[in-house]
Amino acid sequence: MHPVIRTVLQRLGLGLLTLFAVSVIIFSSLELLPGGFAEAILGQGATPETVAAFNKSLGLDRPPVTRYVEWLGGAVQGDFGKSFAGAGGWREENVRFVSDIIGPRFYNTFFLAALTALIAVPIAIALGLFAALYRNGWFDRIINSVTLTTIASPEFFVAYVLVLIAVGNKNGFAAVLPDGWGPMVKPFVSWIPDLPPLATVSKGTPFWEHVWKAILPAITLTLVIVAHMMRMTRASIISLLANPYIEMAKLKGLSPRQVIVRHALPNAWAPIATVIAFNLAYLVVGVVVVEVVFTYPGIGQLMVDSVGSRDMPVAQACALIFAATYILLNLVADIIAIVTNPRLLHPK
C-alpha cells in the first residue's frame, strides 16, 4: 500500500477514535455542569416539581451511562436524535430533529468561512510575498505593524469599529460621534458603502443577499486571520533564502522577484498550507464572538446556546462537526507535510 494512503487510513481511524473521545468529554461535561435542561429553560421559574416533570418527560431521570449509550447507538447510525427543546412534548409535530436544526447553521458557517477564505488567503499570500521581497523595507514594516495591530485587538473590538464606520457613514456620523467630529471624518469615509451591521440570514435568503449581509463579518475575520498567514508566508520564504539553490539562482543573475516566485515559493508551500489549514479550521470553529456581534446564525452560537441550556443532542452534534472539521483539515496539512518531507515518510 502506498505510504500516503496508509497514513490517510490510519489517520481516519484515529479521527473516529478522537470523535468518540470528544463525544464522551462533551457528554460528561454537560453532566458535570450544574443544572440541567429543565432548570435552564425554566430559569427563575423552575420549581422542583416542574423540573422533575420536565426531566421525566425527556427521560433525563435515567442514569447517564444509559443515556449516553442510547445516544451513541443512534449517532453511529447517523441519527443524532432530537433536540430536548420540543421533545417529550404532547405531539409529534413539536419534535425538532437535530439534523434540521444543525443543517442551516452548518451551511451559514461554511458560507462565511468560504467567503472569508476567498478574501483572506489571496491577500495574505500576496502580502507575504511582497513583504519577503521587500523585507525590512518600509512596505514590510508597515504591513507588519498594521496586521499585528488588527490581530492584537480583541475580535469584537475590530468588529465594532467596522460597524462604527458602516453605521456611522449611513447616518452621516450624526448619531455616533462626539459633537464636531462628524464633518471632520466624513470626507475619509464617505466612499464606503452602507454595509448592513445585522447579518441575520435565514433559509430563504438569496445567494447574493447572503454575501452582502456576510461581508462585514467576513472582513472582520479577514483582519483577524490575515496577519498569521501573511507572517508565515513571509517567514517560510525568508528561511529558504539561505539555501544553496537560492544562492545559485541569484548567481545565475535572476532578479529577487524571480528568485522568490520561481524558486522559493514552490518549496514554501508546505508550511503555508499548514497555516492556511489551521486558519480555515479557526474560521469554522472559532468565530462565536463574531457571530454574536453580527447576529449571524452560525454553528458557534448554536453550540454556546445549547451548552448553556444543556441541550445535549444539539451540543454533541455541534462538537462533532467542529472536531471533524479540525481533524480533516489537519489531515490535509499533515499529508502535505509528509509528502514534502521524505524523512517523515519512512520513520524508523
Partner 1 sequence: MTTENVDIRSVRTRRSFMQNAWRALKSAPPSAIFGMTVIAVYVLCAIFAPLIAPYGEAEVVGKAYAPASAQNWFGLDQIGRDVFSRVLYGARNTMGIAFLTVCISFTLGGLLGIYAAVTRGILDQVLSRIVDVFMSIPVLIFALMLLAMRPFDAVENWFGLHGTFSQGVKTILNLIFILAVLDSTRVFRLARNTALSVAVQDFVEAARLRGEGLRWVVLREIVPNILPPLIAEFGLRFSFVFLTIAALSFLGVGIQPPTADWGSMVAESKTLITFGRPQPLIPAAAIALLTVAVNFVVDWFLHKTSGLRDDK
Partner 2 sequence: MTEFEYKLELAKRAVTKGKLSRRDFTKFALAGGLTLTSANTLFIKAARAEAKQGGHFRAGLGHGNTTDTFDPATYAHGLNFGWGRSLVGAPLTRTDQKNNVVPYLAESFEPSDGAKKWVFKIRKGVTFHNGKTVTSDDVVGTINYHNGPDSKSAGKAYLGGVVSVKADGPDTVVFELKGADADFPYAFAQYQFPILSITDGKPDLTGLGAGPYVLDGFEPGVRAHFKRNPNAFAPGNFDEVTQLTILDAAARTNAYLAGEVDYIDKVDLKTIDMLKSAPDTAIYDVSGMQHYTAPMLTDTAPFDNPELRKALKWAINRQELVDKVLFGYGKPGNDSPLAPSLKFATSPDPVHTYDPEKAKSILAKAGLSGLKLDISAADAAFAGSVDAALLMAEHAKAAGIEINVVREPNDGYWDNVWIKKPWCHCYWGGRPTADTMLSVSLSEGAAWNDTHWKNARFNEILPIARGETDDAKRAALYAEAQQLVHDDGGQMVLMFANYVGAMSTKLGHGDFNSDNDFDGGYMYDRWWFV
> Residue 97: phi, psi to the nearest 5?
-80, 140
- Residue 196: which of partner 2, partner 1, none does it interact with, CB under 5 to 8 A by kind? partner 2
Shortest gap between Cβ of 59 and partner 2 (angstroms)?
14
Choice between 27 and 130, CB closer to partner 2 = 27
Site for partner 1 in 148-167 (CB under 8 A): 148-149, 151-157, 160-161, 163-164, 167
Query: Where do runs of H (alpha helix) occur along the chain?
Result: 3-32, 37-42, 48-58, 64-76, 98-133, 138-152, 155-170, 182-189, 207-213, 215-240, 244-251, 256-258, 265-285, 288-294, 299-308, 312-340, 342-345
Shortest gap between Cβ of 15 and partner 2 (angstroms)?
27
34 binds partner 2 (CB under 8 A): yes
Which of 8, 176, 332, 339 binds partner 1 (CB under 8 A)? It is 176
Mask for 4-43, x = binds partner 1 (CB under 8 A): ----------x--xx--xx--xx--xx-xxx---------
319 binds partner 1 (CB under 8 A): yes
Shortest gap between Cβ of 114 and partner 1 (angstroms)?
19
Cβ contact 201:296 at 8 Å: yes
Cβ contact 257:191 at 8 Å: no
- Residue 18: which of partner 2, partner 1, none does it interact with, CB under 5 to 8 A by kind? partner 1
94 binds partner 2 (CB under 8 A): yes
Using DSSP's 3-state secondary structure scheme, residue 82 falls into: strand
Which of 25, 53, 69, 118 binds partner 2 (CB under 8 A)? It is 53
Spatial distance between the Cα atoms of 284 and 109, rounded to a whole number of angstroms: 6
Report how far Cα 107 is from the mean position of its chain's Cα atoms: 13
Cβ contact 299:290 at 8 Å: no
* Other C-beta atoms lying within 10 Å of the C-beta of residue 286: 16
- Residue 211: which of partner 1, partner 2, none does it interact with, CB under 5 to 8 A by kind? none
Residue 327's nearest CA partner among 104, 47, 21, 57 is 21
295 binds partner 1 (CB under 8 A): no
Spatial distance between the Cα atoms of 287 and 322, rounded to a whole number of angstroms: 12
62 binds partner 2 (CB under 8 A): no
- Residue 3: which of partner 2, partner 1, none does it interact with, CB under 5 to 8 A by kind? none
**Hunting for cell 489551521 — which residue is that?**
278
Span near partner 1 by CB under 8 A; candidates 43-51, 70-78, 113-121, 336-344 = 336-344
Cβ contact 98:80 at 8 Å: yes
Spatial distance between the Cα atoms of 43 and 309, rounded to a whole number of angstroms: 10
Residue 198's nearest CA partner among 214, 211, 219 is 214
Span near partner 2 by CB under 8 A; candidates 146-154, 174-182, 184-192, 271-279 = 174-182
Instruction: Write 12-20 long-range contacts (CB < 8 A, 24+).
Output: 12/331, 15/324, 15/327, 15/328, 15/331, 18/323, 18/327, 19/320, 19/323, 19/324, 19/327
Cβ contact 195:166 at 8 Å: yes
Choice between 66 and 94, CB closer to partner 2 = 94
Q: What angle do CA 262, 246, 261 make, to 5 degrees?
A: 20
Name the site residues for partner 1 (rule: CB under 8 A).
14, 17-18, 21-22, 25-26, 29-30, 32-34, 135-137, 141, 144-145, 148-149, 151-157, 160-161, 163-164, 167-168, 173, 175-178, 181, 235, 238-239, 241-242, 285-286, 288-289, 292, 300, 303-304, 307, 319, 322-323, 326-327, 341, 343-344, 347
Name the site residues for partner 2 (rule: CB under 8 A).
33-35, 37-51, 53-54, 56-57, 83-86, 89-91, 93-94, 96, 101, 104, 160, 163, 166-167, 170-171, 174-176, 194, 196-198, 200, 202-203, 292-295, 297, 301-302, 305-306, 308-309, 311, 314
